[in-house]
Amino acid sequence: MSQTIRYTLLSLRDLLVSVGPFVVLAVSLLGLAYWWLDPNPPKHVTLATGPEQSAYEAFGQRYAELLAKDGITVKLLPSEGSADNLRLLREGKADLGFVRGGTTQADDPADAGLESLGSLFLEPVWLFYREAAAPANTTPPQTLESLTQLQGLRVNVGTPGSGIPNLMAKLLDSNHIDAAQLTLSELGQTPATVALLAGELDAIVFASAPESSLVQMLLQTPGIKLMDFAMSEAYSRRFSFLSPAVLPRGVVDLAANIPPHNVRLVAPTTTLLARTETHPALVQLFALAGNTIHGGAGWFKHAREFPNVKNNELPLAQEAERSIQGGAPLLQRYLSFWMANLVERMWLAMGIILAVLLPLSRVIPPLYAFRVRSRIFRWYAQLRELENRAEDTTDTAPLLEELNQLDRHAEKISVPLSYTEELYALRNNIQLVRKKLQRTGTH
């Protein structure tokens, strides 16, 4: 190995040893910041959806497909509906869930650990009835426009977990209708639909987005009509969680003119709720997925009308608000989700660490110089001891032998070329002490 390569490797070794403590400190601080900030979310999350063939189930599947592209596995947890989803969230059995407006209350202590990811869509109250079961004395005949016309009919109001029985109780009470005047049942959506088509029920009530396959089917089934809530504006004034909505004429099937006229409905707004301990990155991903899933035009909305930050009964998550209003963060438009998320959540910590380490980095050059010079300066202690011992004796032969050994060691010292001046200074000082010993030995 040539001397040049040897000196270069030696300099690199000294530099690495000098920088080592600085690197260890930097890595330790980064590790501590990573542990404290927990930037990367879990790869599994549970989403409470709804009954089979419901819009909640369909939307849940679309969320799962979108988040799978970013390596997140979404477990879909079927439920009876909105109220059941709220229970699952409160009990910690689900991380997120679809909840209809009017199900929660802002001042309920049980909901203190929940937050909203924004309003996603209107979920109209659909009251389908058999035309043959409707009273013949209505105008037009066998057409329902008021809840008071349900008296004496067999009506299914859905399972308790769906939240519809509670909603219907409020609506019936506002119309001064005694529930005993109706024959009420609490079947699920699918069995209730089967019973309606079989003539075992006269009417069924459920709340769902128009994307529901049951809604699509019933709107096009002969002999089945959709009740027109003629007083939809009045309902929205009486109940803050309800909004008036209109199903436009022909929107279901333009060629068949279904429905044959505008149908007035009342509609709660459905939100996506999350537990407050849900990782912020997951909240961001779900909010961004919501922009894609719910941002298009529909029967009851214009394009980009939803998701929005309105009509939230619970506090809105900051990550969701930023995603709804600003879209995907800049880095996520060019980097993978995991890399962009790591940088986004660690940049502040990295800036603080850099501000701390920059002043400390000034220690590295003096430390490097000290390490190189220490290989030279440690021999000065032995040289001074020899010189001191020479003053107390006239027999300098043993001292000269020790000095020769010290000189041989000095010849083997390797230092970078920039520090050879100190090495030659040591060897010159050894020569001075040798001359002094030789003079002492001749006297």
Helix (H, G, I), strand (E, B) or coil at 98: strand
pLDDT given at position 312: 82
Domain ranges of the chain: 363-442
Q: What is the DSSP letter of 52?
A: T
Alpha helices of 91-161 — where are they, by DSSP H?
Answer: none
pLDDT given at position 40: 73
Tell me: cis bond preceding 51? Omega within 30 of 0 counts: no
CB atoms within 10 A of CB 231: 18
Burial class (CB in 10 A: 0-12, 13-18, 19+), 411: exposed
pLDDT per residue as tens, the chain (443 positions) = 565 566 566 666 666 666 777 777 777 777 776 666 566 788 999 999 998 888 899 999 999 999 999 999 999 999 989 999 999 999 999 999 999 988 876 567 888 899 999 999 998 999 999 999 988 877 778 889 899 999 999 999 999 888 889 889 999 999 999 988 999 999 988 899 999 999 999 999 998 888 788 899 999 999 999 999 999 999 998 887 888 999 999 998 999 999 999 999 999 989 999 999 998 889 999 999 999 999 998 888 888 889 998 878 899 999 999 999 888 877 777 777 777 766 776 666 667 767 767 776 777 777 777 777 777 778 788 888 887 887 777 777 888 888 888 888 877 777 776 777 887 888 888 888 888 877 776 65
The continuous run of DSSP H or E covering 243 comes out as strand 242-247
Whether the CA torsion 307, 308, 313, 316 is positive or negative: it is: positive
pLDDT given at position 73: 96
Residue located via tokens 């011992």:
389
The tokens for 18 are: 């000098």
Asked whether 303 and 296 are in contact (CB, 8 A), the reply is yes
pLDDT given at position 4: 59
The tokens for 358 are: 């920059």
Asked whether 241 and 268 are in contact (CB, 8 A), the reply is yes
Asked whether 89 and 61 are in contact (CB, 8 A), the reply is no
Cα–Cα distances (Å) from 343 to 322, 328, 346, 349, 396, in that order, read: 17, 14, 5, 10, 70
